Structure 1
């Protein structure tokens, strides 16, 4: 059902985009691809737990100005589901971002973006393991091909790394973060019957609160430092764009063309991420990066398009 409610504060700004959901989704995935670059730029400029806390705090402030009335109106529906909202906020937002920004201190933005791109297939794998979803042989093949992409990126294309299990800790953290976010996406099937922006605001609020102990631990262990000027700028960027603006544009796009069609565009994120890492950070694009990206995108295409087509799914 199309509704202007989730994006009412941005009505004039988004009016031009009506009927152009593809442009909205390209913009959304471009911003999400920028997040991997921002994570690497933040190294030495702002501590990772400070960035995590600031991200969701800034996002909550923006949501306060734009969605507080809607949250208040649906509070009776949200309140009984506080345990569910807590789990979703802690796993899908706080833990995911804490691992995401910590991983950037040990691995490249290219690796981060490619590993993050495996989330759609990890969701499918989780649905098979925990929700007893029946899959076609093509979907199973797609899962295996994508998982092979993770192995290639984590081993840097070297058999010795794979045999010795000498993986980069940053890549390992990104795999764990992606698994957590896949669990978050699976959990969305039990989302309360509230508008998307209301649910997002509730979970973002939980994420901001849950990040405070992590920030306290960072301070207690001596790993915290005051952000530099560049760190403050990055903090504002990730708090407003990947966290807030991109969520608004994604909700608007889904309202225009539906979740199934919009979901296909999410595969652009692992394309934009490496491209921006090369252009902005000057990171070298090795052959194993290209192989891993081809496996990830190929596996997603096999699982989502060919496999779903065989079962008649949308």
Structure 2
């Protein structure tokens, strides 16, 4: 077979074609991440949140480990030097975030949970401004306020004054805590060691699994862990399979490839589609109902994200012009 024939054969391979379609890859990434909230809601009565977190990241670790091993030799010095950060990233950023997300799903709708996750990019922007002095335009600040107001509108079912009496649904409160955790993890990624993304995932998935087991031991001990394990249904195991493969590994692979093809700035825009896909999937799969306050909140959130993104890209565009 000639080189030309070999190249033509690779071009016809559906996987090769997929991996050269950045928009499709990034849309699928947001879709799979959006499905994570639906999985958390479906887990109620089928698998305990701690079991789902532990099973998800154990599966992810076992699947990605063979692919990560070739990179470990080169990355080991950096991994050893930053082991405490990697333990935090896995134990808090991954396991902690998903544990609070799945716990919250027991008390609120998946639609609410999906929309509330729109606050994460805004929290990251606000934290970078407060703690790292990143320059922020007035339009960005307005966008942050609008987005967070929209999220609080959802969490209080359209009555934000309930916050004054701390009258907020427990599930929505737990999901907002999850959002704060993931925002903190995202901000601290600036301290991430410079290692291959597969080494990063394998190491953090290991710590996430370990942390999920520790969470369950602290909350109920070995007897509770054993009882929860025996109560996992077939649906529960399917949810472990979905969350362990799609949001954990495939989405990370697709996102990394998307960034490689079109750059981090353009690729990051697609993360904002996560709440949209999560809400749509909640309606289609769980038959949840959209309420009037969801549409009002969506208006604030979409407007806020649009303003913030426009301000960021205008600022970057001006810097580029200055450099030329």
Q: Same fold (TM over 0.5)?
A: yes
Please say if residues 36 and 243 of structure 2, whose CA atoms lie closer than 8 Å, have aligned partners that are also in contact: yes
Please say if residues 61 and 201 of structure 2, whose CA atoms lie closer than 8 Å, have aligned partners that are also in contact: no
Q: Find the residue that maps to 1:198 and give its secondary structure.
A: helix
Q: Which residue number in structure 1 is paired with residue 270 of structure 2?
A: 265
Tell which deviates more after alignment, 168-177 or 66-75: 66-75
Q: Which residue number in structure 2 is paired with residue 203 of structure 1?
A: 204
C-alpha distance in 2 between matches for 1:218 and 1:146:
34
Q: Which residue number in structure 1 is paired with residue 236 of structure 2?
A: 231
Q: TM-score, normalised by structure 1?
A: 0.91
Q: Which residue number in structure 1 is paired with residue 108 of structure 2?
A: 107
Q: Which residue number in structure 2 is paired with residue 125 of structure 1?
A: 126
C-alpha distance in 1 between matches for 2:148 and 2:319:
23
Does the C-alpha gap of structure 1 residues 206 and 272 become closer, same or farther in structure 2, counting only changes over 3 Å?
A: same
- What is the root-mean-square deviation in Å for CA atoms of aligned residues? 1.8
C-alpha distance in 2 between matches for 1:32 and 1:273:
8
Please say if residues 57 and 208 of structure 2, whose CA atoms lie closer than 8 Å, have aligned partners that are also in contact: yes
Q: Which residue number in structure 2 is paired with residue 187 of structure 1?
A: 188
C-alpha distance in 1 between matches for 2:98 and 2:108:
15
Please say if residues 118 and 151 of structure 2, whose CA atoms lie closer than 8 Å, have aligned partners that are also in contact: no
Q: Which structure has the bigger radius of gyration?
A: 2
Q: How does 1:144-183 map to 2 (within 5 A)?
A: 144-158=145-159, 161-183=162-184
Please say if residues 22 and 258 of structure 2, whose CA atoms lie closer than 8 Å, have aligned partners that are also in contact: yes
Q: Which runs of 5+ in 1 are unaligned?
A: 1-11
Give the count of matched residue pairs.
303
1:288 correspondence with 2:293: yes
C-alpha distance in 2 between matches for 1:275 and 1:37:
10
Q: How does 1:1-314 map to 2 (within 5 A)?
A: 14-158=15-159, 161-220=162-221, 222=224, 225=228, 226-310=231-315, 312=318
C-alpha distance in 1 between matches for 2:57 and 2:266:
28
Q: Which runs of 5+ in 2 are unaligned?
A: 1-12
Does the C-alpha gap of structure 1 residues 159 and 260 become closer, same or farther in structure 2, counting only changes over 3 Å?
A: closer
Please say if residues 139 and 302 of structure 1, whose CA atoms lie closer than 8 Å, have aligned partners that are also in contact: yes
Does the C-alpha gap of structure 1 residues 222 and 199 become closer, same or farther in structure 2, counting only changes over 3 Å?
A: closer
Please say if residues 270 and 293 of structure 1, whose CA atoms lie closer than 8 Å, have aligned partners that are also in contact: no
Does the C-alpha gap of structure 1 residues 215 and 13 become closer, same or farther in structure 2, counting only changes over 3 Å?
A: farther
C-alpha distance in 2 between matches for 1:211 and 1:262:
30
Q: Find the residue that maps to 2:247 and give its secondary structure.
A: helix
